[in-house]
């Protein structure tokens, strides 16, 4: 058994070779370890929080032993889109943080337990609803087949299972760790922002949480690659022979006799490899961090020592998950909107201005295909479906970004979500790539009719003037209402990462002050 405290040493030197074993029969000798641990910490966290809840509501936490116990917990959370990278990264880093200071002497007398009381109390949290996890078919496949997680997601804590709103919980947490995003959502409040202890992310650095340690924000194909670097402390290990030897596999037979999984469980290694394979498109995207991470984690996986080498395994995982990811034919428009939604509240900059809930859905299905899935198959019916969904979440400004390829009969979804679409637009075998933008601004929620009209005009003008988007008006039919718009977007490499700053410029212009920069603590 190799405690996590010395995993870094193993990654630096292979002077003491690990026994290699043939992989026959069920290679998942730690079958259920990850799932059992996750289910156990989820149960304990929710129990502690529920016992503390009455004291929180009564403003009597100082005298509450239950709240003192709840305050020991830390949360590791991915972004609200609920994608596989966020989910797996949160699980992996939480598992590491829970076990990083454990060794064999901590484990004596704990046989059969999956959540040792001497572990650090850390729980992974998915910032989406439980019933939205399987809206991404690749989540279901990877969690079940590679991660050996339970059906029904009883081992995954989701935002809708919290007994109190995030803002009420945040003051009583020991810490918050962010993966796959680097700005805490506003519903966690200032108290939440104060306890952000670590950030691992591969998106644009928004400048938040400067005191977090670690705080690693750099481009990679997969955030999971950064998590692997943190777990194995690979940041300065740039020589391949320091992290990788495809003939050195962890002796999985020895793990059967251990009382607690302080090693990287086989299924966690498999899950991380599957995420990296998918998000890098088998290393056609990403960078050296991704390749380095896959090589470093390989020895703990069930694939190590098998008939396939690492390159063949990563190619197979990418194809299997990529095929699952494209299978969206069964999803309704409401589900497509929920599947990859990123939104947040923009606080009111002054007493006379309203707050805004602005969100953007990324959908790898054309507007034409989506319209065929609603009511009387008209654009107006699509917008009514969209209106009903945004009413549920009380959103004021919503955009839907489509990204797809035209493939003969019907629409072939793009191999990537709109947030990541940077593959070859000119590949003749895949068909031409297309993007569309739909915009809606609703009144009657936080905005008056006059406010909604002026904000819609501001966003519309900014989008139409943006050279980085290059849009023209969509001509697919009557939209059936006011403050509704659809464009064809001709610059097809511009994903949500490009569209969102355009919308934010319009919002700041409408407010008349830099609300986003203020929220980031910048001048």
Dist. CA 269–CA 228, nearest whole Å? 9
- Is the pTM higher than 0.85? The answer reads no
The pLDDT, as a whole number, for residue 308 is: 93
As beta bridge partners, residue 200 has: 179, 216
Q: Which residue, among 398, 386, 403, has the nearest Cα to 489 in the 3D structure?
A: 403
Kindly state the DSSP code that residue 59 receives in the 8-state scheme.
T
CB 66 within 8 A of CB 55: yes
Count Cβ atoms below 10 Å from residue 426 Cβ, excluding itself. 7
- Domains of the chain by range and CATH? 33-100+118-325 (3.90.1640.10), 333-419+429-511 (3.10.310.20)
At 46, which helix (H) or strand (E)? helix 33-57
Dist. CA 440–CA 379, nearest whole Å? 13
Dist. CA 505–CA 516, nearest whole Å? 9
As beta bridge partners, residue 452 has: none
Count Cβ atoms below 10 Å from residue 496 Cβ, excluding itself. 22
Q: Which residue, among 86, 216, 217, 223, has the nearest Cα to 142 in the 3D structure?
A: 86
Dist. CA 30–CA 254, nearest whole Å? 10
Count Cβ atoms below 10 Å from residue 212 Cβ, excluding itself. 19
How is residue 447 written in tokens?
């905005």
In a structure prediction context, what are the per-residue pLDDT tens digits for the chain, which is 523 residues long?
344 444 444 333 332 223 322 222 232 333 467 888 999 999 999 999 999 999 998 888 887 888 998 899 999 999 988 899 999 999 999 999 998 765 544 444 333 334 455 678 999 999 989 888 889 999 999 998 888 887 778 889 999 999 999 999 999 999 999 999 999 998 999 999 999 999 999 998 989 999 999 999 999 999 999 999 999 888 887 666 566 665 678 876 655 444 333 468 889 999 999 999 999 999 998 999 999 999 999 989 999 988 999 999 999 999 999 999 989 999 999 999 999 999 988 888 888 899 999 999 999 999 999 999 998 999 999 999 999 999 999 999 999 999 998 753 345 454 444 354 444 444 555 678 999 999 999 999 999 999 999 999 999 999 999 999 999 999 999 999 999 999 999 999 999 989 999 999 999 999 998 876 544 433 3
How is residue 298 written in tokens?
């390989």
C-alpha angle 98-100-104 in degrees, rounded to nearest 5: 100
Dist. CA 209–CA 197, nearest whole Å? 8
């Amino acid at each position: 058994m190799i405690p996590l405290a010395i995993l870094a040493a193993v990654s630096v030197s292979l002077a003491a070779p690990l026994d290699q074993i043939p992989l026959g029969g069920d290679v998942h000798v730690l079958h259920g370890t990850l799932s059992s641990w996750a289910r156990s910490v989820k149960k304990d966290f929710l129990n502690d929080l529920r016992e503390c809840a009455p004291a929180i509501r009564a403003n009597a936490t100082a005298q509450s032993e239950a709240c003192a116990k709840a305050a020991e917990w830390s949360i590791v959370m991915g972004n609200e889109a609920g994608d596989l990278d966020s989910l797996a990264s949160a699980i992996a880093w939480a598992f590491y943080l829970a076990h990083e200071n454990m060794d064999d002497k901590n484990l004596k007398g704990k046989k059969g337990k999956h959540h040792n009381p001497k572990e650090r109390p850390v729980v992974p949290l998915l910032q989406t609803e439980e019933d939205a996890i399987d809206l991404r078919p690749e989540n279901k496949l990877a969690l079940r087949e590679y991660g050996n997680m339970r059906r029904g997601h009883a081992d995954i804590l989701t935002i809708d299972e919290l007994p109190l709103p995030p803002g009420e919980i945040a003051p009583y947490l020991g810490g918050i760790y962010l993966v796959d995003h680097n700005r805490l959502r506003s519903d966690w409040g200032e108290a939440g922002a104060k306890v952000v202890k670590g950030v691992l992310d591969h998106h644009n650095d928004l400048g938040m949480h400067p005191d977090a340690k670690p705080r690693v924000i750099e481009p990679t194909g997969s955030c999971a690659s950064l998590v692997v670097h943190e777990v194995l402390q690979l940041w300065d290990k740039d020589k391949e022979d320091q992290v990788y030897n495809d003939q050195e596999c962890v002796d999985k037979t020895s793990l059967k006799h251990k009382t607690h999984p302080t090693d990287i469980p086989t299924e966690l290694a498999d899950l991380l490899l599957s995420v990296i394979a998918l998000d890098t498109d088998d290393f056609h995207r990403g960078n050296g961090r991704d390749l380095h991470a896959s090589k470093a984690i390989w020895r703990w996986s069930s694939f190590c020592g098998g008939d396939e080498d690492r390159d063949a395994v990563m190619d197979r995982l990418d194809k299997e998950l990529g095929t699952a990811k494209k299978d969206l034919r069964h999803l309704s428009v409401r589900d497509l909107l929920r599947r990859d939604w990123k939104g947040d509240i923009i606080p009111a900059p002054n007493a006379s201005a309203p707050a805004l809930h602005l969100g953007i859905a990324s959908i790898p299905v054309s507007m034409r295909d989506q319209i065929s899935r609603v009511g009387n198959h008209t654009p107006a019916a699509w917008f009514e479906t969209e209106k009903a969904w945004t009413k549920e979440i009380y959103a004021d400004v919503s955009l839907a970004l489509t990204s797809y390829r035209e493939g003969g009969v019907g629409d072939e979804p793009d191999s990537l979500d709109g947030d990541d679409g940077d593959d070859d637009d000119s590949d003749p075998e895949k068909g031409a790539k297309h993007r569309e933008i739909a915009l809606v601004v609703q009144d009657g929620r936080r905005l008056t009719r006059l406010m909604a009209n002026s904000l819609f005009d501001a966003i519309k003008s900014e989008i139409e003037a943006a050279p980085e988007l290059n849009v023209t008006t969509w001509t697919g039919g009557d939209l059936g209402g006011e403050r509704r718009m659809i464009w064809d977007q001709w610059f097809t490499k511009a994903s949500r990462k490009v569209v969102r700053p355009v919308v934010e410029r319009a919002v700041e212009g409408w407010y008349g002050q830099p609300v986003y920069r203020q929220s980031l603590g910048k001048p």
